[in-house]
Structure 1
C-alpha cells in the first residue's frame, strides 16, 4: 500500500508573522535598567542637573523608551506595546516605593538615636523644652486611650450601619445613609474637630479632655468602618443565607451566626486599618485635647497629650536640636505602632480567610 505525499502550494501558506516569534532573553529588562541608570546619570552629570531626582526621572524615561525600541525591533510592535505598559507600571511602582523607603529609613536613622527605655518611660514633666531628657510616656498613654475610646464608639456603630445597608437597607433611607457615609469619608479632620468643639465643649460646657478628642476621631473612623464592613458583607455568598433560611433560622440569627462570622476576617481588617488611619490625626487633638507635659491617666478629665501633637510641639521649637531629636523619636514610635496595626490586620485576614477544601 503506497502513501501519497502532498505538497502545499506556495500561495496557500499563511501570511504574516509566524506563530513562534523571536523573544528577548529574560535578562533583558535588568540589563536595560542598568544601562538606563548609567546613561541617565551620565546625562545628568554632563547636563549639569544638580538634583538626583532629575537623574532618576531621566533614567526612567530612557528605560521605557529603550525597552519599547528593543522589543519593537525583535519581537514586533504588538509585543512591544505590552512591554511598554509593563515598563510604565514598573516605573510607577518604583516612583511610589522610593519616597516611602526614604521616609522610613530617614525616620529610623533619626529616631533610633533617641528611642530607649528612658524615652519610653518618662514624660516631659519638669524637663526644659530646649534641654535634653524627657520622653513620650504621657503621649503614648494619651494616644492609646483616645484611639481605644474612638474605636469603642465607631466600630459597633459602623458594623451595625453596614449590616443595615447590606441586609435590610431598601428605599430612600438606605440611599440617604449611603450618601452621608460617602460625604463623611471626605470630611477634613479639622472640620470634625470644630464640630465637637462647638457642640461638646462650647454648647454643652465640657472641658478639654482625651474623650473630646476621641469623639472627633470616632467621626473620622466611622465611614471607613462602614465602607470596609459593607464590602466584606457583600462578599458573603447568598447561598449561605438561603440555606440558613431554608432551615427555618430567623434573619437576625442568620446574620449573627452565619454572615458576620464568615466575614469577620475582613471586618477586623477594616477596623484595624481605620484605627491606623486615625492614630496620626493632629488637628482634632490640638483643638479638643489641648496637650499636656505630664501624665494624665484619666481621659475624661483635663488635657492630655498624644503622639502626633507631641511631634508637632517638639518640632515647632526653632533651632532646638533636643526637640528635633525627640520629635523624630516619637515619629519612629508612631510609625512602628501604625505598622504593627497593619501587620495585625493582615495576619487576621490571612488567618480568617477561607481555606481551600473547607
Structure 2
C-alpha cells in the first residue's frame, strides 16, 4: 500500500539532501467517538433491566420448582439476583464495550442496594404504624400514664405520658451536659493541633462505635454502685450523654474543619486573637452544621434503650424529679409493654414505638434540611434579611449624602479628597527692607 508523501527538494547549488521522515499527505478518517454518560437513562437500558429481571425470575423458578429440590425465599431471591446480574451484563455487552459494561453493572448494584434499603425502611415504618394503629387513635394514650391501667384493661385507659415526659427530661439534661463539652472538644481538635489532639480524636472515633450496653454498665458501675446514686432520670441522662458525646464531637469536628481557612487568616490579619476568631468567625460560619450535629446526637440519645434499662428503672407513674425515684422513657416503656403477653399491652408497646419512630424521623429530617447548606450559606429567610438590611443601609447612605450635599461646607461632586490648602506665606523682610 502506497501513500503520497511531502517531498522537500533543496536548491541545486545547495548542500546534498539529508535523510528526512516522510509523512502521509492525508490521515485515515476515524469513526467519531461516542460520548458515554454514566447518569443518562436510555430506552435500551430499561429494556435490558426488565428483560434480565423477567428472565432471572423465570429461570430461578424453574430451577427451584422443577430441577432442584430447593426452597426458601432468601435463597430464591439470592439466586435470582445473581442470574439477573449475569443476564444484564450479557445483554449490555451486545451494544457496549468492556468499561461501559462494568460501569452499568456497578450502577445496577448500587441502585439495587439503595432500593433494598428503602424497602427495608418502608417495611419497618409501615409495620410499626400498622401494629400501633389500635392505640394511636385514643387521646388518653398521650395524656395518661399507666398508674390506673393494668395488663387486662382496654386501650381507653392508660397511656405513655410518663414515658414521653421522662424522655424529654432525660434528653434535656443530656443536651445540657453534652453540647458545651462536645463543641469545646471539637474546637480544641481543630484550633489546637498537636499530639494530644490526635490522641483525643482517636479516642472519640473509637467511642463512636461504643456499644450502648457498655455505656449503661459504665454509669451503673461508677454512679450507682460506687457513688451510691439511685436509679433515676439523672443517671439515665449520664448514660445517654456517654452515647451522645462522641456523635456530637465527631460531627462538629467535621463541620468546623470545612470552614475556609481564608476566614481565619482574614480575622488574624485584623488583629483578632485565636479565641476571638473562633467565637466571632468560626462558630457563626459553621452554625448550621453544628446545629445538625446536635440534632443527630439527640436522635441517637432518644432511641437508646440499653443504658436506660440499667440506670433509669421502671415506673408506671409520672415522675417529675430526675434526681429521685425511677423515670421511664419511650424506649424503655416500649420494651416493658412488648414483654407482656396481653394484646392490649402489645398494642401500647407498638404505639409507643410508633411515637418514638416519628420523633426520630422528624429529627433526622430537620437535620437533613439544616445540614444541606454549606458553612456560611444562608437560608432563603436569611438572604431576605440581608437584602432588607442592604436596602436600609443604601437609604441611610443616600440621606447622609444628601445632607452633606446641602451643607455649605460640602465638597464638590466628584471630589473624594480635600484639595491642598493654598500657601499664603509672605516672604520675610529684613530690617533694611531686603
Instruction: Tell me the TM-score normalized by structure 1.
Output: 0.88
Would you say the 8 A contact 1:67–1:87 is kept in 2? Answer: no
Deviation at 1:62, TM superposition (A): 3.4
Question: In 2, Cα distance between the equivalents of 1:43 and 1:63?
Answer: 10
1:329 alignment partner in structure 2: 351
Question: In 1, Cα distance between the equivalents of 2:112 and 2:80?
Answer: 10
Question: In 1, Cα distance between the equivalents of 2:107 and 2:86?
Answer: 12
2:106 alignment partner in structure 1: 85
Aligned residues: 348
Of 146, 156, 163 in structure 2, the residue corresponding to residue 139 of structure 1 is: 163
Would you say the 8 A contact 2:171–2:298 is kept in 1? Answer: yes
2:270 alignment partner in structure 1: 247
Higher mean C-alpha deviation, range 46-55 or range 78-87: 46-55
Larger radius of gyration: 2
Would you say the 8 A contact 2:170–2:237 is kept in 1? Answer: yes
Q: Output one character per residue of 1:319-346: Cα deviation in whole Å (capped at 9) or x when no partner.
A: x211221111111101100011111212
Question: In 1, Cα distance between the equivalents of 2:204 and 2:264?
Answer: 26
Which structure 2 residues correspond to residues 1-358 of structure 1 after superposition, within 5 A? 12-13=27-28, 19-20=33-34, 26-46=42-62, 47-48=64-65, 51-116=72-137, 117-133=139-155, 134-171=158-195, 173-318=196-341, 320-350=342-372, 354-355=376-377
Question: In 2, Cα distance between the equivalents of 1:62 and 1:87?
Answer: 13
Query: Structure 1 293/68 Cα, relative in aligned 2: closer, same or farther at 3 Å?
Result: same
Query: Structure 1 347/120 Cα, relative in aligned 2: closer, same or farther at 3 Å?
Result: same
1:3 alignment partner in structure 2: none
Q: Partner of 2:94: helix, strand, or coil?
A: helix
Question: In 2, Cα distance between the equivalents of 1:141 and 1:45?
Answer: 53
RMSD: 2.7
Q: Output one character per residue of 1:60-84: Cα deviation in whole Å (capped at 9) or x when no partner.
A: 3333222211221112222112111
Would you say the 8 A contact 2:182–2:246 is kept in 1? Answer: yes
Deviation at 1:54, TM superposition (A): 4.1
- Contiguous gaps of at least 5 residues in structure 1: 1-8
Question: Which protein, 1 or 2, shows the higher relative CO under an 8 Å CA cutoff with sep ≥ 6?
Answer: 1
Question: In 2, Cα distance between the equivalents of 1:345 and 1:21?
Answer: 38
Would you say the 8 A contact 1:292–1:303 is kept in 2? Answer: yes
Question: In 1, Cα distance between the equivalents of 2:215 and 2:325?
Answer: 20
Question: In 2, Cα distance between the equivalents of 1:103 and 1:348?
Answer: 25
Q: Partner of 1:207: helix, strand, or coil?
A: coil
Q: Output one character per residue of 1:180-200: Cα deviation in whole Å (capped at 9) or x when no partner.
A: 222322222112112211221
Question: In 2, Cα distance between the equivalents of 1:33 and 1:73?
Answer: 14
Question: In 1, Cα distance between the equivalents of 2:201 and 2:315?
Answer: 39
Deviation at 1:279, TM superposition (A): 1.2
1:6 alignment partner in structure 2: none
Would you say the 8 A contact 1:123–1:293 is kept in 2? Answer: yes
Question: In 1, Cα distance between the equivalents of 2:108 and 2:203?
Answer: 40
Q: Partner of 1:74: helix, strand, or coil?
A: coil
- Contiguous gaps of at least 5 residues in structure 2: 1-23, 387-434
Q: Partner of 1:30: helix, strand, or coil?
A: helix
Question: In 1, Cα distance between the equivalents of 2:118 and 2:79?
Answer: 17
Instruction: Tell me the TM-score normalized by structure 2.
Output: 0.74
**Structure with higher helix content:** 1
Higher mean C-alpha deviation, range 116-125 or range 304-313: 116-125
Q: Output one character per residue of 1:11-35: Cα deviation in whole Å (capped at 9) or x when no partner.
A: 95367x7523899981233333333
Question: In 2, Cα distance between the equivalents of 1:277 and 1:21?
Answer: 45
Deviation at 1:179, TM superposition (A): 2.6
Would you say the 8 A contact 2:135–2:347 is kept in 1? Answer: yes
